[in-house]
Every structure is written in C-alpha cells, then in structure tokens.
Structure 1
Amino acid sequence: MLSQVDQVIQSCDVSYNSELVVIAALAEAAVRAGTTHSIVLMVEMGDRREGIMPEDLAALAQNVISLPGVVLWGIAANFACLSGVGPNAATMRKFSNLTTQTEGICGPFLATVSGGNSASLLWALGSSPSLCINNLRLGEAILLGKDPISEKHIDGLYQDAFTLVIEVIETKHKPNQVAVMVADPVLKSLPVVSAENHLRSIVALGRQDTEIEGLSFPEGTDFLGATSDHMVIRNRTAPMPVGSELRLGMNYNALMRIMAAPDTAMEYIGTSSGSVSLQTKRSEPFLHLV
C-alpha cells in the first residue's frame, strides 16, 4: 500500500511491485532514509491477479532504473492463485525470455527471476529445460507437502507438519431432529445421518477462526456443523469428555486463516528441546495450533 512505503523501506531490502506510482513512492522514501531499495517487477502470465502485462514490462523497467533510491533487482510471475492457471513449458519459456529481453533493453543483470509459487515446484523438479528462472516463492508445497493444483503429495516432504488442537467444551445427548431450521449461511450445517447414538460435542472453534471445510477429522469423528465460534462434532468410537482435545489436519486455506486468527496459540516443537510428536513419534519439528 502507498501508506506503507516508509515501513517497507525500514523493514525490507527487496519488494515485489507492479505499479509505478508505488515504486516512485518507495524511491522517494529510500532517498529520505539514505538507502537504496531493490525492486522485483511482477509480470502477468495468466493468473490474472497481480502483474504488469508482458508488453508493458520494458517501459516500466526503464522507468524504474531512472529513479534514484531504487534499483531493478528482478522480475517475477504468479500462478494458480486466482484463476487456477498453472505453469507449462511454453509459459515458462516465454517468462524466461522476458528476462533476457529486459536485460538487453535496460542493461542491469536481473539477480532474481522468480518463476512462481508452489504451483511451479513440480515443473521445476521435472525435466524442464535450462531457463533463466532461479527462484520460487514456496508456501503450500513446503508447508503441507502437497502440489496445490493436483493436491498430490510431494516426495520427501511431510503432510502433517501442522496440527490444529481444539478443546471440547460440551458433550451431551441431543436429538438429531430440530423444530426450526435457520436459513443463514453462517449457521449452515451438514446433514446429520440418523443414529442411535445422539452424543454430540462442541469444540471451541468456529468460522471466524478458520475455513471449516478445509479441516480433516480423525477416523471415527463426524463433523455436524459450525457457527461463528463453535463447531459440533460426533465421535463414533468413544465419548469426548469436556476438556479433552481433538487433533485436526488442515488444507492451505484453513492453515492460512488459523495462523492469522488472534485467539490461536502456536507451539513450535523442534529437535533442540528433544520433544517428540505425539502423532508421528518422530523428532522433526512440527507445529501445534491451539
């Protein structure tokens, strides 16, 4: 944001940009601070979120190198965030060619050529030709060990590095049928299959905390519904007394939201403390979110 340029200069050596007015403001802030800030230009390569159109890159790059206080550090692209458009050989070759074109027009060597995010990892690990790309910005792939497009597991990476721990605050027998259904998207619930066991538990987690649909439940636990700050479950194997804990897995959207939720406590358990995961019985670092 334009309102953050001074903070960016104080906190960062490099920033990713697509608007000249913001880059000019960063340049002015850098001059005021007596420093030089590095700029990576985002290029639109099909996802239609952020980025300069490829045909406009050369002109914007020339503007950047003319500004005191900033230097042109590189270019970057984004994939599969908004439109679900992933990288392919032709797109990556076109993006790589933009590097040499920009260097030829502007002169400076581009130190960073960032070919995307986690959606580009399988391309990078495959039999791709040698290109100018030397950087990826990895989130979901390295955190959850999955390719965000196919959701396939990535060899060598764990899928359970994060565990969400939630506490039971009520367990009671209740009927499955209700007299009135509330037509409110916040209060929506999934159909409950009739069963003899009507024991239901409430846990202290709701839609304000995370993306409920992105949670994965242990075997024998059914999700019955969620409101803003509560979630109702049923454990078919054993009652869950008040105070007991339930451990859940998360997809990227659920993990992203719970990490930002103000009421979430985060406990990092690493090898230095000798702690061992209760779930996997291994000593590699993992994270509990409570």
Structure 2
Amino acid sequence: MENPRININLTQIRENAERVFENCRNNNISLTGVVKVGAGDIKLAQSFINGGIKSLGDSRLDNIRNLRRSGYQGETVLLRLPQLAEVTEVINYADLSLVSEVVTVKALSEAAVKVCKRHGIIVMIDVGDLREGILPDQIKDFFREIVNLPMLDIRGIGTNVGCYAGVLPTISNTEILVELAEELRDYYSLELPLISGGNTATTRLLSDNTLPEGINHLRIGEAILQGTDITNQRIIKDLQQNNFTMTASIIELKDKPSAPTGEVGYDAFGNIPVYEDRGVRKRAILAVGRQDVKLDGLIPVDEGIKVLGASSDHLLVDVTDKKGCLSTGDELEFYLDYGAILRLMTSPYVYKNYIMF
C-alpha cells in the first residue's frame, strides 16, 4: 500500500455523525457539519451525509464548489468570511455565508441581484475570542446598513469561540447572542430564525444542560471527526476517537548518537534545536515531513517510540525502546490531533486510505 498515508475510518465518522445529529435534533438544534479538515474530500463529506447531516460547512469556496460538482444538493455554508473578489462565486455555490463587514454584505447583495438568486447570511458577533465578528455594542448600527438590502435573507446571528484566543464558551458569553437576537427582532421587526452558538466547544454546554435557551444552531466538525473537544480538553462520551491515523515507512534505520557533532546553528525553519545527549540510540527516518504533517500532533501507536523532530521531508523517531525487531521498509503508525489531520489531508503527497466496514 502507498506511503505515507492517512487512514480514514469512514464508518466510525458516520457513526459519530449519526450520534451528534440525533443529539442536536433531540435538543431542537439544527446542525451544520464542518468538513473543512477534509480539504474537499468527497468521501469524507459523504460520511457526514450518510449520518443524516443535511447542511455542510467549509471555509474554502473551492471545496464547496467540489461538493456541488459531485452532485451534493443539500445546504452549503461558507464558514470563512467571504472575500470581496469571490462574491459572485459565493452566490453561485453557497446557500449561506457568515459575514461581519458591511461592504461585503452589500457586495453579496449586488451579486445576488445580478443572477436573481437569494442568499442567506449569518451575522457574526465577537463575544471575546477576537477572531471574526462585530462587537455587541455596534450590532444595531451594522444592521441598519444591511437590513433592507435586496436578495439577501438575514438568517440569524452567530459567534465563534475557542479557535483563535482559546476563549471557552460559557453561559454568559453565549447568552449575549440570545439577548442581541431579541433586541434586533424587536428593533427591526426581523425573524432571525437562527442563533448559531458556536462549534464543538459549545457542545460542553449542551452536555451539561446549560446551553442557553434560544441557541438553535451549531457548526460541528471536530466532535464528529475525532470524538474530542480540544478547547475544553475532553473526550466526548459516546463518540469514537482515533478515526484518523498516519502510516509512514522507514527509509533509514541506524544506531546513531543522540546529540549532533559540530557547531549547531539554525535549522531549515529558523530554529536553534536543542538535543539531550542520551548516548547511542536506534533511530528511524520515515518518509514524511513537516510539509505533510504537524509534528507535535503525532502520537505513536506503538509504545517505546519517541518523535525526535523533522525536516521538510524526513521524520526522525527514536525506536530503541520499541519491542520487537524493525527493518528498513517497515511501517509505523501514529494517532493524530486535529492539526495533524488538517495538514495531512491538505498535502498532495499523502495517500488517502479509506476504511469502511
């Protein structure tokens, strides 16, 4: 089988999608499944669809275009704020987009008018994480500029936490959305059917039965893909983990000193590496590197293996303490965190191995 490869357990991902979808439905919450980690992978998206999810979100318009061209007819949500240069494409391929700039909303309206196609928007509110969104005290002025624009449906308001500054979702910062929605409905006589309370991190409030009443939409990817919630540092009960692994083959296996010889300067990435001298150790070089994977997102499946470092194309691991014999050409497998999955799925040099039962 080809190497390096990312092993994708589509069956377990589908089962996670089913459970997350059912949980949201039982709590009167609509769900957008976030497939952006797949870099447009249609089979991965299909596992979400097979799990009952009818709305898919991605940050890249190219990936949404691929979904449409593959025959997907469900709702598509552009999660990254639209670029002004792509508004026509947004109208053509996305049903709903997240927005925070008046100039962008006006451009979307103009593009929608030209093709006579209505487009939905969710206005993003920044409740503290300092990524995208309008500050709460500026929201009425923002709506004043957009409320009467033609061919646009203001579907609701939303927020995002955890992805940039690591701000945790709480009852108080999530209630801000509910309160603002009520004010805007009254002030502008709007329906605002969606209050999009966040991502996987917000599911902790749902699990604790503390999600403020009124939050009725979530955008979830990590929980379905990995069964984890990294922002809250938790394994999510009843979901399956380790649905992705990486396999790479050994291209060199030798006993070598654990500390380099000679004057040490900067490495290829501008860092000065520091090495612990542990004497002579058995080291393996694997045919994968930083260009393909996030180094600190690798967790060896087998005990006794330690990741030492990597260059663009070579991953170095200490295998001295691994039980059993290894030879050049053997494969090693690693569990992955979300960032490592993202890099591997994006790399054109990594083979995608789909697992289905």
> Aligned equivalents of 2:274 and 2:290: distance in 1?
14
Deviation at 1:221, TM superposition (A): 0.8
**Where does structure 1 lack aligned partners over 5 or more consecutive residues?**
272-290
Counterpart in the other structure of 2:208? 126
Structure 2 counterparts to residues 1-290 of structure 1, below 5 A: 1-128=83-210, 130-180=212-262, 181-184=264-267, 186=269, 191-192=275-276, 194-195=278-279, 198-218=281-301, 219-235=303-319, 236=321, 237-271=323-357
**Larger CA Rg, structure 1 vs 2:** 1
Alignment-mate amino acid for residue 44 of structure 1: D
- Retained in 1: the 8 A contact 2:292–2:344? yes
Residues 1:240 and 1:64: Cα distance change in structure 2 (over 3 Å): farther
Partner of 1:137: helix, strand, or coil? strand
- Retained in 1: the 8 A contact 2:175–2:212? no
> Aligned equivalents of 1:128 and 1:107: distance in 2?
29
Alignment-mate amino acid for residue 120 of structure 2: S
> Aligned equivalents of 2:338 and 2:174: distance in 1?
25
> Aligned equivalents of 1:130 and 1:46: distance in 2?
17
Partner of 1:248: helix, strand, or coil? strand
- Retained in 2: the 8 A contact 1:141–1:148? no
Deviation at 1:215, TM superposition (A): 1.1
Residues 1:193 and 1:239: Cα distance change in structure 2 (over 3 Å): farther
> Aligned equivalents of 1:141 and 1:129: distance in 2?
17
Deviation at 1:195, TM superposition (A): 4.8
Deviation at 1:268, TM superposition (A): 2.1
Aligned-pair RMSD on alpha carbons?
Answer: 1.9
- Retained in 1: the 8 A contact 2:157–2:177? no
Deviation at 1:86, TM superposition (A): 0.9
> Aligned equivalents of 1:247 and 1:97: distance in 2?
48
- Retained in 1: the 8 A contact 2:268–2:311? no
- Retained in 1: the 8 A contact 2:297–2:336? yes
Task: State TM-score, norm by structure 1.
Answer: 0.87
**Where does structure 2 lack aligned partners over 5 or more consecutive residues?**
1-82
> Aligned equivalents of 1:108 and 1:7: distance in 2?
27
> Aligned equivalents of 1:67 and 1:139: distance in 2?
32
1:228-281 CA-partner distances (Å, limit 9, x unpaired) = 11111122223432222111111122222222122122222223xxxxxxxxxx
Partner of 1:136: helix, strand, or coil? strand
Alignment-mate amino acid for residue 202 of structure 1: I
> Aligned equivalents of 2:304 and 2:124: distance in 1?
46
Which of 36-45 and 179-188 deviates more?
A: 179-188
Q: Which has the higher contact order (CA 8 A, sep 6+)?
A: 2
1:52-76 CA-partner distances (Å, limit 9, x unpaired) = 1112212222332211121111111
Which of 234-243 and 8-17 deviates more?
A: 234-243
Alignment-mate amino acid for residue 9 of structure 1: I
1:78-110 CA-partner distances (Å, limit 9, x unpaired) = 111111111111112222111111111222211
Alignment-mate amino acid for residue 345 of structure 2: M
- Retained in 2: the 8 A contact 1:226–1:232? yes
**What number of residue pairs does the alignment pair up?**
270
Alignment-mate amino acid for residue 205 of structure 1: V
Deviation at 1:190, TM superposition (A): 6.0
The percentage of counterpart residues that share the same residue type is 33
